[in-house]
Structure 1
Amino acid sequence: MTSYRIGIDVGGTHTDAVLLDETNQVMAETKAPTTEDVSRGIYQAMRDVIESAQVDRTRIDYAMLGTTHCTNAIVERKRLNTVGIIRIGAPATLAVKPLIGVPDDLRTLLGKHVYIVSGGHEFDGREIASLDEDHLYEIAHEIKGAVDSVAITSVFSPVSDNHEVRAAEIIREILGEAIPISLSKEIGSVGLLERENATILNASVVNVAQATAEGFVAALKEEGIEANVFFGQNDGTLMSVEYAKKYPILTIACGPTNSLRGASFLTGKENAIVVDVGGTTTDIGVLAQSFPRESSLAVEIGGARTNFRMPDLVSIGLGGGTIIRVNETDGTFTIGPESVGYRLPEKGLVFGGDTLTTTDVVVALGRANIGDRSKVAHLDKELLRRIYDRMVEMVEMAVDQMKTSSGDAPVILVGGGSILLPDQLRGASEVMKPEHLGVANAIGAAIAQVSGQIERVFSLDERGREQTLAYAKDLAREEAIKAGADPSDLTIVDVEDVPLAYLPGNATRIRVKAAGPLGSASAEQYEKGNVIP
């Protein structure tokens, strides 16, 4: 019997949903406005696509969600956990307190229970000081009942995680097994302050992730659907509900990466530049072997500087609802960054509204056929052409910014706002507009594989290069299985090996990503030893 899967992705303007059959053919697609309460928009899109497809609901086996819940919680400073923040690094790190590089309002919210404990390691794995377990027990008793999440960061834990692991054992001993604990060695890479911030943010959105997951599962059950639920993460792959609850920060920026994966699937292109035009912004990213290229820079989330993995993206304030302002005196104009967003059908001139938008420009110039063109017939065509040329130039400059060489590269246009752009762009060897481009993000969520990634510093003197790489690959495979991948069908999709000349022991930083199709074994089964990779 045919089985189906639902893919849902939340954008700034619209929440898109698709229903695919077992051969990944699109059975139905829909767009719903992204509501202030994000969950309502998700449930509406889900119901609409199910109703449109008219399939047997008992045959919907998988549901994938790319959500902005965690991003919104951090940006809006709402629904955040009360976090116990423990840094292991005294006496070496006492001069710089935790939450450096975090905006004052967010520091006030999260910085009520901050502790620095003796311990941590040097860059070569030697102890800075022995772990002060007595102090940890004191902290555990002090924060019991006062916090509902804990973030633990130790100096150079990507080199040696012994102190973080032991600290977590002590916290659980006093606070119970149910307390969510975020360990920095699992969140960020080398670089104490940014890794610490990423870990704290992860700990702060655990409740949001849990409520989102449980709400989505409940909404599916209301529709009579008993599906396996997965969440999109920001490397373009999926993770199980349990994994998402543990690492919710990895859902941040999953929307653009879903669009990249969807663009690759729809065109069959493994290497290309993807231009995703939404209602508010245009996101430009790079496909490398069908997966998003990762950023090598520190990134800010809600104003907080972090160093966990993120896709390499450029966003510009250009979308289907972007507002155009014209100075009637001298004919100058500005494009955005303000947008009418999902209110375009009521605010745009071609729909009878009172606001000049980029959509009105392309309709008036005959480049798109939506709304009522007669409502923009009075506009100055020469002015519109200048505005349109500037819109295209904005995208071309962003595409050039993402290139690693001066040659032309293939460009894939996706997103509902891609009607804004022409079939040719400077710097593009070809411009592709695939079928179903308006819901490429939801398709990317639905067809995504499951991945696991590790990034650590290893001493090659201990095992030798080949054995160390093999060990790192095994660790990445374990992470993929925990996230929900099929243990029998895993592929290593990325290996990065950077020698660290300043460290002794022939040290090297290795990053490995493994990916595979969805598996039937759960992360819980794997962790209990019931699944053998």
Structure 2
Amino acid sequence: MRIGIDVGGTNTDAVLLDGDRVLATVKSPTTAEVTGGVVAAIGAVLGASGVPPAAVTAVMIGTTHFVNALVEGERLAPTAAVRLGLPATAALPPMVDWPGRLRAALSPDADGPAVHLCHGGHEYDGRPLSDLDEDELRATAAAIAARGVRSVAVSAVFSPVSADAERRAGEILAAELGPDVHLSLSHEIGRVGLLPRENATIVNAALRDLAVRIVAAFGRALDEAGIGAPLFLSQNDGTLMDVERAREQPIATFASGPTNSMRGAAYLSGLADCAVVDVGGTTADVGILTGGFPREASGEAEMGGVRTNFRIPDVLSLGIGGGSLVDLDAPSVGPRSVGYRLTERALVFGGDTLTATDLAVAAGRAEIGDPSRVARLDRARVEAALAHTAGRIAETVDRMRTSPEPIPVVAVGGGSVLIDALPGFADVRRPGHYAVANAIGAAIAQVGGEVDRVFQVPPGRRDAVLDEAKAEAAAHAERAGARPGTVDVVDVEEVPLAYLPGGATRIRVKAVGDLDLNRLENDRA
């Protein structure tokens, strides 16, 4: 049995699954202190099901803690950025394009960010760009220690091709700075493209202290509930990572909310290829499922004003949700929202604010709160506002399509009661348990492995190189906890680098498999 939890801006949702059967679901308001909401959700779902805590075999959590910390510019640790690339790359130093408030948040003192340029790195084909200068790195470590910085991000030119320089630099810095230093290496986090990969690595390093505290808090929540099962966190690509990796790579959880909802939509609807509209309390997130997994963003993603290139789903967000403020005269819905105060502010709950949820109740689309409190709303104006909402969502879905072919749309999330039909889309579905699709997506998440680097592809050897990349991705998935025999390759991408000699090709392979619960049981025993 598995518990899936998803922490959203408005609600914290939890489900208990026994195989493919949903035993209990809980939707409760997110608290200002998010971890307390997780504790309450675990207790509520166990109480509703009557299942003893000892019967739970795994707990999966999707959390907004880390992306919120970046967006708010709070709870970030002072961080040093070490780049291996001299004599090249000096024109654009690390964090050169960051917002000033985030540069300040990561600076250990008034002198600004701790930025260090060192020799090292590789060419696209793995040849050294320059020799690693170990004395230079030891001097860099001394400068970092002098400023009291304990989180360090190491990035090297073309490290996804060859990670040797980063690994050796990490060893030297760890030896000089001591065992409690938090090191983040860019080849483990981002893709080809120095600046956005470096940015992602710096963000990850800045979140490492927070990740240790959050993971420990989640562990205490399980202990309080009497659950001894292992804990996993949801990743951006719809797969899971264990708590050890969560401490090391918190950035991998940034988009787990929309991803969980899309994976849950696929599970509940039985559709592997469709558009998904996840309407929460604050926003409507629109994405595309391909083969049961979210389509990934092909380029860079901006997070809190920082350009990054780690794995993240291709999602468009619209400021429409169940808590959105409504102007019937315009008509308009959103983008401002009452958020997690919906149950205090909405008319149907005795509040004084007209929200989108009130419109759904007034139109007879939902039975929430006290319908008599919205009975006097003008029905024509209510329907006009809902039609306006449907039109904006339909336009967003249309922007996400890459083909004029008809595509089914699956609506999930508590706010999806706003959607009755979408203009231009004949097949719109709202499956059972739609309100907690995000928590279900967390509970059913699989384990993944990925390879993304530049390969040399000699003439006549393309198939052999692809097989090598696929085997490597599958091995990564199994090491991460996937059960052997269940691992499948779900995505292969080849990009020949025509401007480089020697058949250089960027190959990205993603493999996923089912979580090996038997191995978990053996580890617990």
What is the TM-score with the length of structure 2 in the denominator? Answer: 0.94
Query: In 2, Cα distance between the equivalents of 1:243 and 1:499?
Result: 32
1:321-379 CA-partner distances (Å, limit 9, x unpaired): 100134xxxx4233211111222222112222211111222222233332333322332
Match for residue 484 of structure 1 among 481, 484, 504:
481
Match for residue 13 of structure 1 among 10, 14, 21:
10
Query: In 1, Cα distance between the equivalents of 2:191 and 2:230?
Result: 31
Structure 1 contact 124–503 (Cα < 8 Å) conserved: no
Structure 1 contact 87–152 (Cα < 8 Å) conserved: yes
Query: In 2, Cα distance between the equivalents of 1:476 and 1:270?
Result: 22
Aligned to 1:218: 220
Instruction: Confirm or deny that 1:380 pairs with 2:378.
Output: yes
Report the more deviating stretch, 32-41 or 63-72: 32-41
Instruction: Confirm or deny that 1:449 pairs with 2:450.
Output: no
Q: How far apart are 1:210 and its partner, in Å?
A: 1.7
What is the TM-score with the length of structure 1 in the denominator? Answer: 0.93
Aligned-partner SS, 1:274:
strand
1:415-449 CA-partner distances (Å, limit 9, x unpaired): 01111110x32332411111111101101100111
Root-mean-square deviation (CA, aligned residues, Å) is 2.0
For 1:295-314, what aligned pairs fall within 5 Å after superposition?
Answer: 295-314=297-316
Structure 1 contact 100–193 (Cα < 8 Å) conserved: no
Query: In 2, Cα distance between the equivalents of 1:66 and 1:209?
Result: 13
1:479-499 CA-partner distances (Å, limit 9, x unpaired): 323432224432211111111
Q: Relative to structure 1, is the Cα distance of residues 7 and 520 closer, same or farther in structure 2, using a 3 angstrom cutoff? A: closer
Aligned to 1:108: 104
Aligned-partner SS, 1:205:
helix
Aligned-partner SS, 2:233:
strand
Report the more deviating stretch, 141-150 or 276-285: 141-150
Aligned to 1:150: 152
Unaligned segments of structure 1, at least 5 residues? 526-530
Counterpart AA for 1:500 = L
Query: In 1, Cα distance between the equivalents of 2:383 and 2:279?
Result: 20
Aligned-partner SS, 2:215:
helix
Aligned to 2:364: 366
Query: In 2, Cα distance between the equivalents of 1:115 and 1:318?
Result: 43
For 1:520-531, what aligned pairs fall within 5 Å after superposition?
Answer: none
For 1:245-256, what aligned pairs fall within 5 Å after superposition?
Answer: 245-256=247-258
Counterpart AA for 2:119 = S
For 1:388-467, what aligned pairs fall within 5 Å after superposition?
Answer: 388-422=386-420, 424-461=421-458, 464-467=461-464
Instruction: Confirm or deny that 1:233 pairs with 2:235.
Output: yes
Match for residue 264 of structure 2 among 262, 265, 280:
262
Query: In 2, Cα distance between the equivalents of 1:410 and 1:133?
Result: 57
Counterpart AA for 1:140 = A
Structure 2 contact 42–225 (Cα < 8 Å) conserved: no
Query: In 2, Cα distance between the equivalents of 1:178 and 1:470?
Result: 40
Structure 1 contact 409–427 (Cα < 8 Å) conserved: no
Query: In 1, Cα distance between the equivalents of 2:252 and 2:306?
Result: 15
Aligned to 2:292: 290
Structure 1 contact 64–232 (Cα < 8 Å) conserved: yes
1:115-139 CA-partner distances (Å, limit 9, x unpaired): 0002222334333322222100111
- Counting matched residue pairs gives 516
Report the more deviating stretch, 46-55 or 487-496: 487-496
Structure 1 contact 124–504 (Cα < 8 Å) conserved: no
Aligned-partner SS, 1:461:
coil
- The sequence identity of aligned pairs, in percent, is 51
Q: Relative to structure 1, is the Cα distance of residues 16 and 489 closer, same or farther in structure 2, using a 3 angstrom cutoff? A: same
Aligned to 2:110: none
Q: Relative to structure 1, is the Cα distance of residues 341 and 522 closer, same or farther in structure 2, using a 3 angstrom cutoff? A: same
1:150-206 CA-partner distances (Å, limit 9, x unpaired): 111011112222211211121122223453321111111111111100010111111
Unaligned segments of structure 2, at least 5 residues? 108-112
Counterpart AA for 2:313 = P
Q: How far apart are 1:284 and its partner, in Å?
A: 0.7
Query: In 1, Cα distance between the equivalents of 2:312 and 2:238?
Result: 10
Report the more deviating stretch, 79-88 or 388-397: 79-88
Match for residue 344 of structure 2 among 323, 343, 346:
346
Counterpart AA for 1:56 = P
Structure 2 contact 76–207 (Cα < 8 Å) conserved: yes
Instruction: Confirm or deny that 1:512 pairs with 2:514.
Output: no
Query: In 2, Cα distance between the equivalents of 1:282 and 1:261?
Result: 16
Structure 2 contact 79–149 (Cα < 8 Å) conserved: yes
1:240-290 CA-partner distances (Å, limit 9, x unpaired): 111212211010010110011111111111101111110111111111000
Structure 2 contact 64–254 (Cα < 8 Å) conserved: yes
Instruction: Confirm or deny that 1:66 pairs with 2:67.
Output: no
Counterpart AA for 1:96 = L
Aligned to 1:528: none
Report the more deviating stretch, 311-320 or 210-219: 210-219
Counterpart AA for 1:420 = L
Q: How far apart are 1:99 and its partner, in Å?
A: 0.6
Aligned-partner SS, 1:81:
coil
1:296-344 CA-partner distances (Å, limit 9, x unpaired): 1211111111111110101101111100134xxxx42332111112222
Counterpart AA for 2:371 = R
Q: Relative to structure 1, is the Cα distance of residues 487 and 178 closer, same or farther in structure 2, using a 3 angstrom cutoff? A: farther
Counterpart AA for 2:128 = E
